[in-house]
Amino acid sequence: MKSVFVTRRIHESGIALLKKAGYKVDVYAKDQIIERKELLRGVKGRDAVLSLLTDRIDAEVLDAAGPQLKIVANFAVGFDNMDLKAAAERKIVVTNTPSDKVNESVAEHTFALMLSLARRIPEADHFSKRGMYKGWSPSLLNGADLYGKTLGLIGAGRIGSMVARRAVKGFDMKLVYSDMRPNEALEKEYGAKKLTQDALLKKADFISLHVPLLPSTRHMISAKQFALMKPTAFLVNTARGPVVDEKALLKALKAKKIAGAGLDVFECEPAIDCDLRDNLELKAFENVILTPHIASATEEARRDMSEIAAKNIIAVLKGKAPLTPAKVG
């Protein structure tokens, strides 16, 4: 009987598919990030591993599993936790879990951050709950409109395009984007204009990041980029934390070079701040909204991710091609 190790409890629908296919399935008992020694022990002798983005899957892990390992199915759209080269050298398939349900969930969360920043929703909530509301005032917690503003997408793939649809159709926003390749559908349907990244940063009122974490995208938003942005601009990151240089972001916020930021991911995740000794903390800024990497955290998306990961494992263990192989670019 083929054996599958799941590094953390996930939606039961995927586990049920694996068991129905006749595989022995073991799930790490603790509902927490698996410790390295437990990961190395858990993968031993397995035919498949279903990993999470919090698991560093490298040559050591692959060798600990053994030569019978056929697939590592990553329970995430991104796969920067995977050593793709080491897997390829060992002829191990790596898959991820992209889907329209997951992408729509991330796009919704992106827009929730944009709205919350612009209309100062968390500030207003705290203000009200602390008993500070004493009556209506024309200057009380004034925010910014989305209507008619310019949204700049850095990365115009599936998720970026879904954010674009909400922006243009829902809020009549203008749309600019930067990407390695033109997105003709985005241009035709939503009137989007492709710009260089520098031109986009100068023009956009809201800047939303939708790129994978690669050597070329690490710290792609740093001091130089913040200097180009409008002081009224908002930055939203639901991609990967290290795409933004946290030190540079903190300095930009302190100097009021930008109006605020909405972050679902962090450079030194799970730590929210990389360096607590510098007396600059993201948590100290009222115009920063922080959510704990939950952009795809809906019941529908998590079920879909679980089932996609399971179907990839079933396909590969049956000698078939995976549904969603992890591919760069």
Do 115 and 129 lie in one domain? The reply is yes
Catalytically annotated residue among 56, 90, 165, 293: 293
Do 49 and 161 lie in one domain? The reply is no
CB atoms near residue 248 (< 10 Å): 18
* pLDDT, tens digit (0-9, with 9 covering 90-100), for 243-258: 999 999 999 999 999 9
Do 156 and 112 lie in one domain? The reply is yes
* pLDDT, tens digit (0-9, with 9 covering 90-100), for 26-42: 999 999 999 999 999 99
Q: Clarify whether 89 is annotated catalytic.
A: no
State residue 329's pLDDT score: 56
CA-nearest of 211, 254, 256, 250 to 229 is 256
Do 51 and 77 lie in one domain? The reply is yes
Crossing angle of helices 100-118/121-129, nearest 10°?
60
Q: Clarify whether 126 is annotated catalytic.
A: no
Do 163 and 286 lie in one domain? The reply is yes
Q: Clarify whether 293 is annotated catalytic.
A: yes
Q: What is the CATH number of the domain that holds 211?
A: 3.40.50.720
CA-nearest of 182, 168, 51 to 107 is 168
**pTM metric for this prediction:** 0.88
Catalytically annotated residue among 109, 240, 302, 307: 240
Catalytically annotated residue among 108, 187, 269, 303: 269
CA-nearest of 90, 101, 88 to 65 is 90
Do 232 and 278 lie in one domain? The reply is yes
* pLDDT, tens digit (0-9, with 9 covering 90-100), for 270-315: 999 998 888 889 999 999 999 999 999 999 999 999 999 999 999 9
The rounded distance, in Å, linking the Cα atoms of 178 and 185 is 14
Do 134 and 263 lie in one domain? The reply is yes
Instruction: Using alpha carbons only, give the angle 45, 50, 53 rounded to the nearest 5 degrees.
Output: 125
Domain that holds residue 252: 101-290
Give every residue of the chain whose pLDDT is below 70, as ranges: 328-329
CA-nearest of 224, 222, 134, 150 to 192 is 150
Do 127 and 164 lie in one domain? The reply is yes
* Number of domains into which the chain is organized: 2
Tell me, yes or no, whether 326 lies in a domain: no
Do 145 and 181 lie in one domain? The reply is yes
Tell me, yes or no, whether 232 lies in a domain: yes
Do 29 and 132 lie in one domain? The reply is no
Instruction: Using alpha carbons only, give the angle 83, 84, 89 rounded to the nearest 5 degrees.
Output: 105
Tell me, yes or no, whether 239 lies in a domain: yes
